[in-house]
Amino acid sequence: MVHLNLLNLKNDLYRIFLKVLSYLYPIRIKTFQSEFSGKLELTYYDGALVLDTQKTNYSYGNLQRLLAAGLKQIPEREINRFTEILILGVAGGSVIETLYKNHFYTGNIDAVDIDPVVLQIAEDYFNINQFTKCKLWVADAAQFVAQSTKLYDLVLVDLFLDEVIPDFVFTEPFLNQLKKLIATQGYVLFNTIKTKNKDAGINGMLHAVFGTDYNILVLSHLNPFNTLYLIQKNT
């Protein structure tokens, strides 16, 4: 028993050492291969464990800060009344942590990702199972949305395969299916890669589908790489 405690202490000290060292330069811990996301890397960076692909941050790190900034655009009193949240695109689950720990959300979350590898990483390395009201679904987001009959107070769409948003996301059929899942006075938060041509097309499609019954707030100032769209249902 003493031997096990010493081993645990050594592991804790080792992790602390890695975290401190990572303020000087990133330290790669482990790599994974995914059918959907390609090569995935667990890295200590600036004292935190983050999940990256070869081209972009997938969870925690910059992405967590970006989505946290987007969620701050929703009044805290609104999040306090939420009981059901849908997350499309989970990766390591950083936004789940943000909701439960930073906003003290107490309701349910359905968290959907097509990639079983990233969900396993979320469980094994980011302790996502500590949030007992969060249910993880290995599923295609389009199929999940088409088949679901539940109403959600917030739908967060963070669908990427590496740095690419799947083509179906900003199409009329998917967005119309998504609309059916939004509760009265509910919200949708979209994360997108910032490009001039795509921003114009996405903005036009969102206004065409959601129309006058929704308020659409464009958040392009939060970082140089992403544009968030926050949509609220008026009635």
Residue-wise pLDDT tens digits, 137-185: 999 999 999 999 999 999 999 998 777 788 899 899 999 999 999 999 9
Which of 97-101, 198-202, 217-221 has the least mean pLDDT? 198-202
Task: Please indicate, yes or no, whether residues 135 and 168 belong to a single structural domain of this protein.
Answer: yes
Instruction: Please tell me the distance from the alpha carbon of residue 164 to that of residue 159, in angstroms, as a whole number.
Output: 8
**Average confidence (pLDDT) over 1-6:** 34
Structural domain containing residue 15: 2-57
Q: How many domains does the chain have?
A: 2
pLDDT in the model for residue 226:
85
Measured distance CA(50)–CA(114) in Å, rounded:
20
Sheet containing 152-157: give its strands across.
134-138, 108-113, 84-88, 152-157, 182-193, 226-233, 214-219
Strand ranges (E), the chain? 27-34, 38-45, 48-53, 57-59, 84-88, 108-113, 134-138, 152-157, 182-193, 214-219, 226-233
Give the residue from 39, 57, 75 where a domain finishes.
57
Residue 39 and residue 100 in one domain: no
Secondary structure (DSSP) of 171-195:
SHHHHHHHHTTEEEEEEEEEEEE--
What are 110's strand-pairing partners?
86, 135
Backbone angles phi, psi at 100, to 5 degrees: -75, -40
Q: How far apart are CA 121 and CA 51, in angstroms?
A: 9
Please give the average per-residue pLDDT across 206-220, as a whole number.
Answer: 88
Residues 187 and 225 in one domain: yes
Same domain, 213 and 151: yes
Q: Verify that 128 and 221 share a domain, yes or no.
A: yes
pLDDT digits (tens, 9 = 90+) for 189-200: 999 887 655 666
Supply 87's token pair: 């997350």
3-state DSSP: the chain helix, strand, coil percent, rounded to 5? 40, 30, 30
Average pLDDT over residues 72-98: 92
Asked if residue 66 and residue 42 are part of one domain, the reply reads no
Whole-number pLDDT of residue 155: 97
Which of 57, 75, 100 finishes a domain? 57
The verdict on 97 and 25 lying in the same domain is no
